[in-house]
Structure 1
């Protein structure tokens, strides 16, 4: 057991749970700040008059904003109230995992939309695929048995596999366009950086670094779960930059010569 001190008993009070998380747990500010940040960015993007993006296209990007807001919001709520009781903690833990699935889905959809902008059939297939795979992950991770610490590594591997499923449309895009087009205009570089951040965070979470190396030293601050949260927020910001880049490039090219 790597956490030796300062475990919290069920409090039975939302007020006490909130005060406890707010005062002594780094997980609260990491995701709360991320939640507020993406909420502000989302509203700013929708109302900004200077962006040369039609409102229908803004809705595509808004899919990512919404998924990030929900994922960060669900996780913030879970880590705020998980000390309330076992029943409440388990319910919000499930919401936390649903939020992660939504974030992966919401990250893929805008990229697929703009990368396969003139290939409607491919776009539809890949969007349906990510919806099915993301839904499957959400379903599995909301099963009571899968919430136990025994399946901690399995949960991380499941979400890594969901993220790596994006390799298929990436390779497909390079084959129908070319690598230079993908790197310079389809934000593949940002996509790869996002994947590295997500996978690094999930690996740290699964291996419980650093608390397994220094038992008792990271019971409250700088434990693997908190580090994972920082990686998630950074990866989401990186992906947002990539989405904006590919959207502006794609829309600046005008319509499609041959719609497939």
Structure 2
């Protein structure tokens, strides 16, 4: 190819490209000029327009400014200085208990709360920013992931379907950790969300209570005790689970006779009685058998952990002695989660040991021993009753806290996306 011809072709292509770019720039400039002219014409208010705006109807300068911006199509601006601090990862250290609804407050916890009525993505930050819920979430999220790993491991170690007591209790341990983590992550959005999410948390606890009672009985009970109670046992624990969950739901409704302290005591009593009935076959076995068995040692550690957990939760120790010191880490609710997760760990390994080397082989060989189909039937029956009770409770809670709808629907939201009602005690929210 002739170099001169090639050079002239490149030159022509360059000229065309420059012409095209010049045309694009000119077109953009024309569009920009048109936009500026339309904005200037809308921004210039006539005397007639000014007469339509009545200053006396505004209670503050910000309301008049909002009306002005609305009439001129100008973008709104946030006028709350404290809203800028919410983007900081340390902002929860300024959120006092007086800044959140009463039902969201924890005894002797002064700071570290997540703000209410915020967008959903804000509460996902509770996984990483220092706040009261940070330790509550991770002390059940990590054990939940570990129980998923255990279930995967057990499926290679044995026939997990045939050894259904181990499958059932491991599955329920995953459920209770998952529901608890989600409840602590999202409950702070409002009083309505607090009640509804903790109803879901109680649902997970109920499933685990049913699984514990069934697994302890059908894998580790004494043969005489098993033969005596076997025909009625699944019916009994189903009734206990449903009644217990319904009672827990009542504690989340807006009943005048249920204070925060009464509700906590009622929850502890219900869970304690259910766990005591489930541990009864283990107590009889420990009384009549040598306590040196590995499975019984696991069972004993599980019982001790489960006894310490409600005591720690109900005593509010150590924040009762040092208010404000354990606002984000080391408080009683965190230790409650640690002990309950430990109890679930010991329960799962105790059932595994019973299935491999304990009384399960003798019990499962008995006539009338329930299959996994029968166990799952009653398990799903508890789930269905729980879903019905939970739905009815949700409807009652929604009626109780109907006044929060205006905030949850974003009708009183600042232009920055943060509710106008948000206030931070240490850094008062002031307007320009």
Residue 154 (structure 1) aligned with residue 266 (structure 2): yes
Alignment gaps of 5+ in structure 1: none
Residue 32 (structure 1) aligned with residue 138 (structure 2): no
Alignment gaps of 5+ in structure 2: 1-106, 370-432
Q: 1:114 aligns with which of 219, 230, 242?
A: 219
TM, length-normalised to structure 2: 0.53
Rate the CA distance shift 1:7–1:134 in 2: closer, same or farther, 3 A: same
Which residue is equivalent to 1:67? Answer: 172
Rate the CA distance shift 1:187–1:126 in 2: closer, same or farther, 3 A: farther
User: In the aligned structure 2, how far is the partner of 1:231 from the partner of 1:104?
Assistant: 16
Residue 131 (structure 1) aligned with residue 238 (structure 2): yes
1:44-193 alignment, distance < 5 Å: 44-46=153-155, 48=156, 51=157, 53-116=158-221, 119=226, 122-143=229-250, 144-145=253-254, 149-150=260-261, 151-171=263-283, 173=285, 178-180=288-290, 183=291, 187-193=295-301
Which residue is equivalent to 1:197? Answer: 305
User: In the aligned structure 2, how far is the partner of 1:127 from the partner of 1:15?
Assistant: 42
Structural RMSD (CA)? 2.7
Which residue is equivalent to 1:16? Answer: 122
Per the TM alignment, residue 232 of structure 1 is displaced from its structure 2 partner at its CA by 0.9
SS of the counterpart of 1:83?
helix
TM, length-normalised to structure 1: 0.85
SS of the counterpart of 1:211?
coil
Report if the CA contact (8 A) 1:98-1:141 is conserved.
no
CA displacement, residues 166-193 of structure 1 (integer Å, 9 cap, x when unaligned):
3433355568xx323xx35593332222
* Structure having the higher Rg: 2
Per the TM alignment, residue 228 of structure 1 is displaced from its structure 2 partner at its CA by 0.4
**Structure with bigger RCO (C-alpha 8 Å, 6+ apart):** 1
